[in-house]
Structure 1
Amino acid sequence: MSNANPSPAEAAEDSVNKRYARLLSLRTKAVEGKGAWYWAHFDPILIRNPDTNLPKSVKLKCTLCDAAFSASNPSRTASEHLKRGACPNFSSMLKPITQLPPLASPSSQPNHRKRASLDASPINMFDSSRFAASSMSPKLPLLSGGRDDLRPLAMLEESVKKLKSPNSPPSYVLRKEQVDAAFDLLADWFYEVCGSVAFSSLEHPKFSAFLRQVGLPEVSMRELLCSRLDSKFEEARRASEARIRDAAFFQVASDGWNSIERGSKSLVKFMVNLPNGTRVFQKVVYSNGGAVEDVLWETVGEICGGNAQRCVGIIADRYKGKALKRLELQNNWMVNLTCQIHGFCSLIKDFNRELPLFGSVAENCLKIANLINSQPRVRNSFLKFRLQGFEVPTFITVPFPKCDISKNYGPFVAMLEDILTCSQILHLVVMDDAFKSVCVEDLVAVEVADLVQDVGFWSNVEAIHSLIKLVMSMAEEVESDRPLVGQCLPLWGDMRSKIKEWCTKYNMADGPVERVLERRFRKNYHPAWSAAFILDPQYLVRDACGKYLPPFKCLTHEQEKDVDKLVTRLVAGEEAHIALMELMKWRSEGLDPLYAQAVQLKQQDPVTGKMKIANPQSSRLVWETCLKEFKSLSKVAVRLLFLQATSGGSKCDWSFMRLFRGQGVGFDKVQKLVFVAAHAKLERQVFSSLEENDAELLRNINGEDEMLNEASSI
């Protein structure tokens, strides 16, 4: 049985073994011609502890001179040991100058005086057979200009070859089909990154040289941004419209209104949520937030054509102006909702505004941070202890003066985390003689000393930090899971229970906190939450007789009334009384136990490890197939149960904004580029932004390097 919590020594051993296996794999690929050139001259070796015989570290051994090096950065080791002449046997591995690969003409290459020597591809410059005797390898000619003369000499010999055989064909020529396929792939990549790569980059001399090197002609920007883009856009548009036409109804998701500040513009993204769980990109609008209602309704008309009733609802991230409510009142068949992510994020702002503890903690933390960061003698004392091995930040984060926590709580959270991280070192600082001398002159230093030595202060800081992280984690979970409308009441119920546990843990009066929570709940609440919760077979409860009945007992009296009102509003006038009778029947009879159990079947999510509903579409499909006797109520149920409670979709990169702000490309072209990019992301089920992917990659690389360093030191 495997150990779930390996010891540090076991973790280090596993890290070293993985690193060794990875380096062996890289060397094997290189020997087969599929990796970096320098692996032909390095062998990974595993260093073991002489006492325990356990793996200690990984080294690289030069096969030419038997020198050993750290394996943390093979490319740098190759540059310093091989290229710069540190290896005494490496120069004998060079090929004769007549065997250097053909190079581009001088006119096409920029003049770099500081270019490293032998600036051709290293894999072609060295003999692939590193086991040949060095005495058998021909020696390079000694030139008056040194090693930098090798490139001009190669160009001279290339010119001689061309004069000898002026009509000789190139070494290889791609067929037209290969060229077309290559450009299709290049265009797909360019459209999907959508502005992250500047248009002018495709005309960069190095990129053009690369294309020539692999036998491709230069890129035609006109073709890429005109005929080929138009073709890709039409293909994506036809696929999207076909999916929307195929669905009986849909929901419009609008994301981006919440980030619009006064006098500024932002990208507002529109998507279409279909009953089968798929999403279709619609468009991006560069808006200043004016006439929200008009923009929403215009978008609905563009998608629906002449049948607006196919749009059964809108989900958006903006509540100001009551635009969603007005549209719902004007069109009785619609259910218009605000995004749950922004509802939870607003809860943090509510706590900051209405709980006095937030203000006192912020004020006290600012005193400590400002004193540590700006008072020279205190700072010297802080840095002195930091140099003794304490893993703390160099400076404590301080929100800039005009930072409003109610709008941007990120810097405030960072300050709390820094203060908590520095707690141990702060206790040492206030006991230091240098700090005591400051206290004689500065009353703020005296206050800081009292705060640092006050247990209640640290408890309050930890409590506020814990509360914010609790709400943020719920918001992040909602963003990743993308819950449906029927899950809103359980989500807020989960939030209530976590808040109650927080109050108990930190000995806080629960009354004020719960009042803030309930006020935010009422602001975000929609009657569709209660109706979807009741009609979703996922939440049916088994009674003493074995029946699976809707959980009306979980609703308040007002919420029960909301269910009746919403059901009657969503059906035609003459069907209202029928729908209410069917609702009473649903309340008393529920669903067949076998189908109820099938709908509620759960399985473990391979990514998060959480237990989730195996088939989220089952709730809607049961109403369309097994509950046909509820003719009126089923119309309401199938329209409610697929509605999503979050407005986000694929992320809008900063590059989208760059495109709309202008790169010499027309607005129509930008819309097409964004549409093609978003459509491709949805097809590949990739919803993160390029910046997030890059950050994750860098975190993984840094984490691996840190593990290697720790393993090497053991």
Structure 2
Amino acid sequence: MATTNNNAPTAAQQQQPETTAMDGLTPEELTAKALSKRYEGLMTVRNKAVKGKGAWYWTHLEPILVRNTDTALPKAVKLRCSLCDAVFSASNPSRTASEHLKRGTCPNFTSSSVSTPSSSSSPSHPHHHHRKRNSSGAAVPSRLSSPHPITVVDPSRFCGGELHYSAAPPPPMLSGGRDDLVPLAMLEDSVKKLKSPKPSHTQSLTRSQVDSALDSLSGWVYESCGSVSLSGLEHPKFRAFLTQVGLPTVSKRDFATTRLDLKYEEARVESESRIRDAMFFQIASDGWNSNLVSLIVNLPNGMSLYRKAVLVNGAVPSNYAEEVLLETVKGICGNSPQRCVGVVSDKFKNKALRSLEGRHQWMVNLSCQFQGVNSLVKDFVRELPLFKSVSQNCERLAKFINSTAGIRNAHCKYQLREHGEAIMLRLPPLHCSSSGSSSKACCYFEPLFNLLEDVLSSARAIQLVMHDEACKAVLMEDHVAREVAEMVGDGGFWNEVEAVHALIKLVKEMARRMEEDKLLVGQCLPLWDELRAKIKDWDSKFNVGGGHVDEIVERRFKKCYHPAWAAAFILDPLYLIRDSSGKYLPPFKCLSPEQEKDVDKLITRLVSRDEAHIALMELMKWRTEGLDPMYARAVQMKERDPVSGKMRIANPQSSRLVWETYLSEFRSLGKVAVRLIFLHATTCGFKCNSSLLKWVSSHGRSHAAIDRAQKLIFISANSKFERRDFCNEEDRDAELLAMANGDDNLLNDVLVDTSSV
């Protein structure tokens, strides 16, 4: 006989869209509906648990629905402890139970408050015990739940030659407390092994398997570059893990000497081989004002290789930096310095780079554009009156709220009500105050950005504070408080704060893109044009710039500009533009007359005197004929990046390869093109973690220590370049920890949804 499922939806219900029920609801009502659903799900879980079909802690935790006092709509779901009336977030009940009940935070909770399943289930079977299954499927008693191995006999039950066993033998009272249970279980295991010894079936690893495992372990340790402590290899728990998986224990001394030397030698040989195979390369150096300067080799095929690190103490003179760069070039090229086609460096004066370029006419030396764009914010802080007034007003507001007890408490109250959290406004450090000299602007823009973010995110709470009774009492007595209140009530103040915040965010986002995409020389002009357009939109939106922002941007552009930007932009087939006749021609119309002259000058400088006129003739031919449409479209073909989801060039090497193959008729111009197109315009790449930098700084006088640090950095950096993984482990860990709470909420939502079915 067929059964009918009363819960099955009808055909009409299946065809009805789910969104119909949400038509006409405001966002607040949708949020309230979701909260009500979550509350009902938690109550369903708790009701089942109280009946013995769920976790023990639901007996003591009770879901409550908090409603908005103004609208009566639900605004939060909380958990209330029935023992002490404390209220907690309902995002993760199991964590709340562990931290509040099990750890003893609740003053009224005792271990006897927990009702175990064995005390409430199966009352008709007093001799029933929970059993585990061994590998063969046989039931074995759980030692930890009933640690005493001997049946307890009650002498008073002995009569007429019969033994009456007690229904529930009490657990033994051990002198060491509950911590004795584990040693007691170990004693039982030893007794059982002596009674019935069994041969071990553990299969030992072969020598090659052990060597391969240790090689992988050492690679992980070195590639982590200080994130994994060498001393941690001798931690007892890590040694226990190695023993458990059948590996021998390792020595930190062995990892710091013999194995490190072998791994470094392997990485060095591979790196040298790749550099020898390349016809030319670029040197990138970063951090000339930090403790560690990284020297990297960029190859035409897009590969980057770490060369070495230079330990410096603070800022260094330009001639020292030139010596280090030239020594690095000589160490790679030997007697063929023309293989090094240029240098890209940060925090190193343009004048010194131009001087180095003047003595070696085949080189193109660039300043890092990541640093150049970031310097724009420093220029704004130093030169824009808007930045100074906004920073001073926000500092005054933050000091008033943070330092006045009644105002601070009211601010926290409204923050909790509006955002669910209470934070103090972050004031810049005293040594970075905006009231100081303009030389402090370099370190001020990041603290200023943090302060602006706090003020904007707390805007609603700040405005409510000014109408609070506690604030009204202060306003009557303090004229400074009245000035702050008038400022908060002025719409112009909030417009200026938002404008400064948006401008800093715009520039920071542009710099971040340059760092992530590893900006090439040909991309510089388009990116600066994009920045100008965005600043123009910003000015029209907020109307507070007064034209000064454009002036500052142009001055910074001229400081950063290099003729190679225009030349690479013209010679890269990626930027060819299709005209009305169907030809793909270089974008000369996007250049200014001065930039067109720069292209001619740079090309004639990068070829020999005998080839100069030939290169210019080929440039005119390139200008009028361009590239075959089929090849141009192939170079410009894009595909979606599976990781970021953005559209990217399908084959970034096509621009250079077209010149070396299909455009081989341009012999002189082609030599310049292939050398320019692959050049990087930023030094961004490998980042040392803070632990290693701190260690290097503290052991800078030890030759052996620095040698080991050099090898460690070399192995780690080249491994990251091989994987194209340029993230810092510390940044990645911070993102992971920030995501943890959201993941817990998601998992808990799934748990509630499945439990309520």
TM-score range (shorter-chain normalised) is 0.7 to 0.9
1:142 and 2:172 aligned: yes
Distance change (3 Å), C-alpha of 1:50 and 1:672: closer
Q: Is contact 1:56–1:712 with CA below 8 Å preserved after alignment? A: no
CA apart distance, 1:622: 1.0
CA apart distance, 1:589: 1.6
1:93 and 2:123 aligned: no
State the secondary structure of the residue aligned to 1:399: coil
Distance change (3 Å), C-alpha of 1:453 and 1:315: same
CA apart distance, 1:77: 6.6
Distance change (3 Å), C-alpha of 1:646 and 1:191: same
Gaps of 5+ in 1: 17-46, 100-117, 126-134
The answer to which of 427-436 and 415-424 deviates more is 427-436
Distance change (3 Å), C-alpha of 1:169 and 1:314: same
CA apart distance, 1:386: 3.3
1: CA distance, partners of 2:18 / 2:333: 57
Match of residue 158 from structure 2: none
Distance change (3 Å), C-alpha of 1:379 and 1:62: closer
Match of residue 363 from structure 1: 392
Q: TM-score under structure 1 normalisation?
A: 0.81
Match of residue 236 from structure 1: 267
Pick the aligned partner of 1:224 from 255, 263, 274.
255
Distance change (3 Å), C-alpha of 1:466 and 1:287: same
Pick the aligned partner of 1:565 from 592, 601, 605.
601
CA apart distance, 1:711: 8.0
Pick the aligned partner of 2:709 from 670, 674, 677.
670
Match of residue 240 from structure 2: 209
**Amino acid corresponding to residue 239 of structure 1 in structure 2:** E
Distance change (3 Å), C-alpha of 1:208 and 1:608: closer
- The CA deviation string for residues 262-287 of structure 1, in whole angstroms up to 9 with x for no partner, is xxx51111211111111111122222
State the secondary structure of the residue aligned to 1:406: helix
Pick the aligned partner of 1:249 from 273, 280, 283.
280
Identity %: 51
Pick the aligned partner of 2:652 from 616, 631, 640.
616
2: CA distance, partners of 1:77 / 1:439: 45
CA apart distance, 1:660: 1.5
Alignment map for 1:519-530 (pairs within 5 Å): 519-530=555-566
Distance change (3 Å), C-alpha of 1:331 and 1:433: same
Pick the aligned partner of 2:341 from 298, 312, 317.
312
The answer to which of 400-409 and 455-464 deviates more is 400-409
The answer to which of 71-80 and 554-563 deviates more is 71-80
1:153 and 2:184 aligned: yes
Q: Is contact 2:611–2:668 with CA below 8 Å preserved after alignment? A: yes
Match of residue 336 from structure 1: 365
Distance change (3 Å), C-alpha of 1:440 and 1:138: closer
Pick the aligned partner of 2:324 from 289, 292, 295.
295
**Amino acid corresponding to residue 343 of structure 2 in structure 1:** I
Match of residue 92 from structure 2: 72
Distance change (3 Å), C-alpha of 1:387 and 1:703: closer
Q: TM-score under structure 2 normalisation?
A: 0.77
Pick the aligned partner of 1:272 from 289, 292, 297.
297
Q: Is contact 1:251–1:273 with CA below 8 Å preserved after alignment? A: yes
- The CA deviation string for residues 204-251 of structure 1, in whole angstroms up to 9 with x for no partner, is 222223323333322122322222211111111111111111111111
CA apart distance, 1:471: 0.7
Pick the aligned partner of 2:402 from 353, 373, 376.
373
CA apart distance, 1:162: 8.1
Match of residue 518 from structure 1: 554
Match of residue 73 from structure 2: none
Match of residue 102 from structure 1: none
1:600 and 2:631 aligned: no
1:477 and 2:477 aligned: no
Distance change (3 Å), C-alpha of 1:214 and 1:65: farther
CA apart distance, 1:406: 2.9
Match of residue 670 from structure 2: 634
CA apart distance, 1:537: 1.1
- The CA deviation string for residues 298-334 of structure 1, in whole angstroms up to 9 with x for no partner, is 1222222322111111111123373322211111111
Match of residue 214 from structure 2: 183
2: CA distance, partners of 1:369 / 1:558: 49
1:661 and 2:712 aligned: no
- The CA deviation string for residues 456-495 of structure 1, in whole angstroms up to 9 with x for no partner, is 1111111111111111111111111122110100000001
State the secondary structure of the residue aligned to 2:543: coil
- The CA deviation string for residues 379-437 of structure 1, in whole angstroms up to 9 with x for no partner, is 23323433444446421111011113433411101111111122222222222333232
**Amino acid corresponding to residue 231 of structure 1 in structure 2:** L
Pick the aligned partner of 1:495 from 531, 544, 564.
531
**Amino acid corresponding to residue 208 of structure 1 in structure 2:** R
Alignment map for 1:47-62 (pairs within 5 Å): none
2: CA distance, partners of 1:460 / 1:284: 44
State the secondary structure of the residue aligned to 2:443: coil
CA apart distance, 1:192: 1.6
Q: Is contact 2:287–2:346 with CA below 8 Å preserved after alignment? A: yes
The answer to which of 55-64 and 615-624 deviates more is 55-64
1: CA distance, partners of 2:625 / 2:421: 62
**Amino acid corresponding to residue 312 of structure 2 in structure 1:** S
The higher radius of gyration belongs to 2
CA apart distance, 1:709: 6.5
2: CA distance, partners of 1:171 / 1:140: 38
**Amino acid corresponding to residue 200 of structure 1 in structure 2:** S
Match of residue 680 from structure 2: 644
CA apart distance, 1:506: 0.9
Q: Is contact 1:194–1:655 with CA below 8 Å preserved after alignment? A: no
Distance change (3 Å), C-alpha of 1:713 and 1:408: farther
1: CA distance, partners of 2:197 / 2:745: 56
Match of residue 9 from structure 2: none
Q: How many residues align?
A: 643
**Amino acid corresponding to residue 92 of structure 2 in structure 1:** S
State the secondary structure of the residue aligned to 2:250: coil
Q: Is contact 2:143–2:185 with CA below 8 Å preserved after alignment? A: no
Distance change (3 Å), C-alpha of 1:500 and 1:661: same
Distance change (3 Å), C-alpha of 1:408 and 1:48: closer
**Amino acid corresponding to residue 252 of structure 1 in structure 2:** I
Distance change (3 Å), C-alpha of 1:49 and 1:646: closer
Q: Is contact 1:392–1:422 with CA below 8 Å preserved after alignment? A: no
